Homo-oligomer: A and B are copies of this chain.
């Protein structure tokens, strides 16, 4: 082969490589222009995309530096379902049944009898005090490592009664896409939930790609102890912090030390977090997931058994926050749906 032909071949290869590069670039750009594929092109998707494009537009007055792009999400009812009851409560009841053989006295003692027999009427009658007893035996008086092990075993095996799927499959596909979209745009995403933090951290990395240090929740008092010369952290049955309602902005300040610019919730327990987020300067975003889809998920509104929703919905309407109509705005709710 002459050097001339080598040169020509090199030139052709170069042109080819350049064309490939340009095509790939164009494809990436096209892909980047279609975020949130499970969201219909409705008001919520438009508001989210408009907000993200605004705060990431360098050189404009609304630009927010990457380190201040903090986004907070409630978990129950916002990132995954919360029916027929909070999944953490289902975990606790499952644990009672698993522990029952070692506690024969539970067969005749409430609220354990009701938990074993799935007698939800009796369980309801035992009230908050009954629930606290169940949470105490299933969540505390053990090391942090032992508790994490129990949650991991449960999340890998237990199935939701309606969908016959692992509970982590009842996370919302459109919200996964939203987390990805925010992360791709330099946001740091946090969970800020009323759920107990150690319960969530056992599975949030796998389910959402959210690492333990970005999960904030309610906490129990934990004690450092030396057991056989080895340090352990013991979980005690004493509540340390209730991360709900006005507790959410408090815990955001305590853990993150910055005010978020983006917040998503679904109930009155998220109201103060949304208010706190929106009260800062510059462009901000507040969203509520509105459960309007009885067919694919559940429909519930102001009269939910699971906590109040009316104040958050009223304030969202009044202030023009984004309210996601799940039935109309989401193409798919769960990733496992075969017939979206």
Of the stretches A78-86, A91-99, A246-254, the one at the interface is: A246-254
Q: Are B213 and A258 in contact (CB under 8 A)?
A: yes
Nearest residue (CB) in B for A255 is: B255
Q: Give the chain B neighbours of A276 by CB distance below 8 A.
A: 224, 231, 233
Q: Which of B198, B257, B258, B272 contacts A224 (CB 8 A)?
A: B272
Q: Are B257 and A201 in contact (CB under 8 A)?
A: yes
Is A186 interfacial (CB-CB < 8 Å)? no
Q: Are B233 and A198 in contact (CB under 8 A)?
A: no
CA distance A211 to B214 in the complex (A): 14
Q: Give the chain B neighbours of A222 by CB distance below 8 A.
A: 250, 253-254
Whether A246 contacts B223 in the complex (CB less than 8 A), given A67-B211, A144-B253, comes out as yes
| Chain A residues within CB distance 8 Å of chain B | 3-4, 6-7, 10, 67, 144, 188, 197-198, 201, 211-213, 215, 219, 222-224, 230-231, 233, 240, 246-247, 249-250, 253-258, 272, 275-276, 279
Closest 3 CB pairs of A and B: A212-B257, A224-B246, A201-B257
10 contacts between A and B (CB under 8 A): A3-B4, A3-B7, A7-B7, A198-B257, A213-B256, A215-B257, A231-B249, A231-B276, A231-B279, A233-B250
Known: A197-B254, A212-B256, A230-B279. 8 other contacts (CB 8 A): A7-B10, A188-B213, A212-B258, A213-B255, A213-B258, A219-B254, A233-B249, A233-B253
